[in-house]
Amino acid sequence: MSARLSFTEVLSQKIALLFDGATGTELYNRGLFINRCFEEANLSNPNLIRELHEDYVKAGAQVLSTNSWGANSFKLRTHNLHDKTYEINKKAASIAREAIGPDGYVAGSVGPLGVRIEPWGPTSFEEAKNSFKEQIKGLVDGGVDVISLETFGDISELQQAILASRELNPKMPVIAMITINPEGQMPVGTPAEWAIKKITEWGVDALGFNCSVGPQPIMSAVKKIQNTTRCPIVVQPNAGLPKQVDGRTIYMCTPEYMAEFTKHFLEAGVQFVGGCCGTSPQHIKSMAQAFRHQKAMRHSEGDLSPEFSSIEHTSSGDICAEGCERVPLEKKSKWAQKIANGQMVSSVELLPPSSVLPDKILERSKQLKDAGVDAINIPDGPRASARMSAILTSVMIEQKVGIETVLHYTCRDRNLLGMQSDMMGAHAIGLRNMLLVTGDPPKLGNYPDATGVFDIDAIGLTNMVHRLNGGLDLGGRPIGEPTALTIGVGVNPVHRDFDYEMKRFKYKVEAGAEWAITQPVFDLRALYKFIDHIEKENIKIPIIAGIWPLLSFRNAQFMNNEVPGVVIPDEIMKRMAEPQSPEDAKKVGVEIAHTMVEELGDSVQGIQVSAPFGRADLALKVLGK
């Protein structure tokens, strides 16, 4: 077993880690009175502190912050505990170390002194620095991996804390976090950008923001400072701004909201994410799920995994077993033949049954086949829901109805070996058309506590199927006859980070993708922008546009606000809000979708229409059939 990386190595290798959540508000919720010295509980009630740490570890935290934020001699003096400063801090570190175990990390939490220092108060820089040294020595002797300077509102005081840590132990990594208001300024009016520039000059190992505000203002601040510093960034927002409800202070951000921003922070390049006031183990649990999903999405910029790093993003003619020839696209399936010949294709998405009865989906598939649709799209656990196996649903449709399917296959529910087995089995049973996607994380569905696997993402899965099409398994062993699976991938033309999405899409094409289906598109301008981009970048791959007929204004609201990757323009939202009856709303939604299909013409090579609630008749109207 390889040795655990040091925190310095974590920093240099840019490994993202999840910190824990609040200590103070959680201890208060667990029975410590507000007038108690929370840090003294390290000595008088270590089991309570250990239990909180262990709850965060169970939730998925990889870094624990010690219960020592206010354990400096100035603050402890107000409780007549100043002579126990070293003891309290050393115990705080040892409790956290015991809770996290050998594989995790402990951050020694150091907060402001609680007194004004020069030039604003009577405490000198030297006195402040010596107080910080006393606290930090206890934490270092207790076994912390990094010093975490948190919630500083005075940059001069923060400088003394940095100097104290460096003078005491120059090799100990130091994180420095300031607190800001919703406008992005420190409490005394210092702009965050200027403060971050100075902190960078002082030579910390990571820097960022914590406390005071929720995720949105901190996200805005992160964007402002990214051109100011090259240091790794850490954020630990509150669970929103506190509100008084029936005499109680309540933090309003839900675990799901914090998880969504965790994804945004990681997409923005933040290396360390955690929570501050109001965040609980439940928040960290949801954030850990988002962390795991995002890690899979970005893993090695699309390589399969460290074990399979030799599999590169190559074109479809490479990586074949000796004596093996790949099956040409046009010979893989009827769907593939039309795509290879430059013909328009059409497909309709039908959800697998949520019961054991396939009668309705078979009936609807026959209706679509008779109308001349080329294939039935079968999603794989859409929105992380539990439905009949997408593979078996596809087999039944192809065998009993006689129309080809496009199987959506996700990385979420299987490990590498299971995915390889599924692909070989799909080929053996006669399935050919695969749309390879990463999949929605379980937190989005009805079973948020289910575990997502995410050994690889869609890029890695494309690599894997491409390899099987070359007659090789993951270990490089020839499998005899190669698979003949058509490789389709997803792409989102309206992704909030267009450049990032295009980078991933390029990797998918280089990994062996042969065609692509877009997320449901409601703004044709965005789709044309995407098409222009891939033409300029010489990314040559047939594009099939995803179209979704809206059924009501409420349906449009849900799609726009709750379905990842979907953006509906204001003009369409207004049109959907106008009809007075449900039937009129359906007509407007179908009319909007059909108009988009007509306008697209031959600018794409196919149309995939989603049939909401299984309404095959509406899908056919959209296609003009």
Instruction: Identify whether residues 432 and 326 lie together within a single domain.
Output: yes
Q: How far is CA 416 from the centre of its chain?
A: 20
- Min mean pLDDT across 106-115, 167-176, 263-272, 399-408 is at 263-272
Last residue of a domain, one of 238, 269, 302: 302
327 has pLDDT over 50: yes
pLDDT band at 306 (very low <50, low <70, confident <90, very high): very low
Residue 2 lies in a domain: no
Instruction: Identify whether residues 158 and 57 lie together within a single domain.
Output: yes
What average pLDDT does the structure give for the chain? 87
Contact yes or no for 278/251 (Cβ under 8 A): yes
DSSP classification of residue 433: E
Element (H, E) at 488: strand 486-491
459 CB neighbour count, 10 Å cutoff: 31
Last residue of a domain, one of 255, 276, 302: 302
Residue 313 lies in a domain: no
Q: How far is CA 55 from CA 20, 22, 50, 198, 283, in A?
A: 10, 12, 9, 36, 11
pLDDT tens digits for range 138-191: 999 999 999 999 999 999 999 999 999 999 999 999 999 999 988 888 887 788
Higher pLDDT, 32 or 244: 32
What average pLDDT does range 51-66 have in this prediction? 96
Provide the pLDDT for residue 414.
75
390 contacts: CB under 8 Å, gap ≥ 6: 352, 378, 379, 380, 381, 407, 408, 409
Rounded to 5 degrees, φ, ψ at 17 are -135, 150
Site of tokens 């954020």: 235
Residue 1 lies in a domain: no
pLDDT band at 443 (very low <50, low <70, confident <90, very high): very low
Provide the pLDDT for residue 543.
98
pLDDT tens digits for range 369-410: 999 999 999 998 655 457 899 999 999 999 999 999 999 998
Contact yes or no for 67/98 (Cβ under 8 A): no
Instruction: Identify whether residues 517 and 403 lie together within a single domain.
Output: yes
Share of the chain above pLDDT 70, in %: 88
Residue 438 lies in a domain: yes
Provide the pLDDT for residue 216.
87
CB-facing half-sphere around the CA of 348: CA atoms within 13 A = 30
pLDDT band at 303 (very low <50, low <70, confident <90, very high): very low
What range does the domain containing 108 cover?
7-302
Instruction: Identify whether residues 113 and 244 lie together within a single domain.
Output: yes
Residue 307 lies in a domain: no
Long-range contacts from 42-49, C-beta under 8 angstroms, 24+ separation: 42/67, 42/68, 42/71, 42/88, 42/91, 42/92, 42/95, 43/84, 43/87, 43/88, 43/91, 46/91, 46/95, 49/92, 49/95
Provide the pLDDT for residue 496.
79
58 has pLDDT over 90: yes
Instruction: Identify whether residues 372 and 252 lie together within a single domain.
Output: no
Provide the pLDDT for residue 241.
66
358 has pLDDT over 70: yes
pLDDT tens digits for range 525-541: 999 999 999 999 999 99
- Min mean pLDDT across 37-46, 285-294, 304-313 is at 304-313
Instruction: Identify whether residues 298 and 324 lie together within a single domain.
Output: no
pLDDT band at 28 (very low <50, low <70, confident <90, very high): confident
Element (H, E) at 133: helix 125-142
Instruction: Identify whether residues 462 and 580 lie together within a single domain.
Output: yes
Provide the pLDDT for residue 448.
43
Q: Is 411 annotated as a binding residue?
A: no
578 has pLDDT over 50: yes
Most confident of 184-193, 218-227, 414-423: 218-227
Instruction: Identify whether residues 390 and 499 lie together within a single domain.
Output: yes
Residue 539 lies in a domain: yes
Domain count, the chain: 2
413 has pLDDT over 60: yes
CATH number of the domain bearing residue 57: 3.20.20.330
Instruction: Identify whether residues 189 and 255 lie together within a single domain.
Output: yes
pLDDT band at 99 (very low <50, low <70, confident <90, very high): very high
Element (H, E) at 207: strand 206-210
Instruction: Identify whether residues 289 and 327 lie together within a single domain.
Output: no
Residue 311 lies in a domain: no
Provide the pLDDT for residue 564.
63
Higher pLDDT, 579 or 128: 128
Residue 308 lies in a domain: no
Instruction: Identify whether residues 295 and 422 lie together within a single domain.
Output: no
Q: Is 276 annotated as a binding residue?
A: yes
Q: Alpha-carbon distance 312 to 315, whole Å?
A: 9
Provide the pLDDT for residue 385.
57
Last residue of a domain, one of 277, 302, 327: 302
Contact yes or no for 302/507 (Cβ under 8 A): yes
CATH number of the domain bearing residue 516: 3.20.20.220
Provide the pLDDT for residue 369.
97
pTM of the model: 0.55
Amino acid at 94: S
Instruction: Identify whether residues 143 and 256 lie together within a single domain.
Output: yes
